[in-house]
């Protein structure tokens, strides 16, 4: 087990799909790519900087189930620039405002 896994609070599942998030200063939702998720949080790639503590609205469809909640940014890490000079960020968020049924669904999914 690496140091990163030892710090994690919940088991994670590597996935690759898009979710919709609304940043604090935006009216519309933006698509982001998910790298992994757990019952307690999610890691995404964002093309803009977000700060720890920022709250984002999240809409996602996981295995055919629509889930809406909020995510509190726990950390953000600048990745190497991509084509076109875009600097992506790895962003970890903790779920909040998620109903219990959706949380239990995610727990079953990642176990």
Q: Domain containing 94 — which CATH number? A: 2.40.10.220
Domain span at 25: 3-100
Q: Look at residue 108 and tell me if it is in a domain.
A: no
Q: Which long-range contacts (CB under 8 A, 24 or more apart) does 7-16 make?
A: 8/38, 9/38, 9/40, 9/41, 10/38, 10/39, 10/40, 10/41, 10/110, 11/38, 11/110, 11/111, 12/36, 12/37, 12/38, 12/43, 12/110, 13/37, 13/38, 13/109, 13/110
Kindly state whether residue 47 falls inside one of the protein's structural domains.
Answer: yes
Residue 102: predicted pLDDT: 95
Burial of 103 (0-12, 13-18, 19+ CB in 10 A): middle
Residue 109 lies inside a defined structural domain of this protein: no
pLDDT of residue 9: 64
Is residue 62 domain-resident? Answer: yes
Number of structural domains the chain divides into: 1
Does a structural domain hold residue 107? no
Residue 99 is predicted with a pLDDT of 94
Mean per-residue pLDDT pooled into runs of 10, the chain (111 residues): 48 80 93 92 90 95 94 90 72 95 93 86
* pLDDT score at 2: 40
Residue 14 inside a domain? The answer is yes
pLDDT at 83: 61
Helices (DSSP H) in the chain: which residue ranges?
3-7, 100-110
């Amino acid at each position: 087990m690496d140091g990163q896994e030892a710090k994690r609070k919940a088991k994670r599942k590597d996935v690759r799909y898009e979710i919709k998030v609304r940043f604090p200063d935006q009216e519309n939702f933006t698509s982001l790519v998910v790298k992994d998720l757990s019952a307690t949080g999610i890691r995404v790639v964002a093309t803009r900087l977000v700060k720890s503590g920022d709250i984002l609205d999240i809409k996602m469809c996981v295995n055919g189930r629509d889930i809406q909640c909020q995510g509190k940014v726990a950390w953000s890490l600048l990745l190497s620039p991509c084509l076109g000079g875009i600097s992506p960020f790895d962003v970890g968020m903790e779920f909040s405002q998620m109903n219990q049924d959706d949380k239990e669904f995610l727990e079953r999914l990642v176990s």
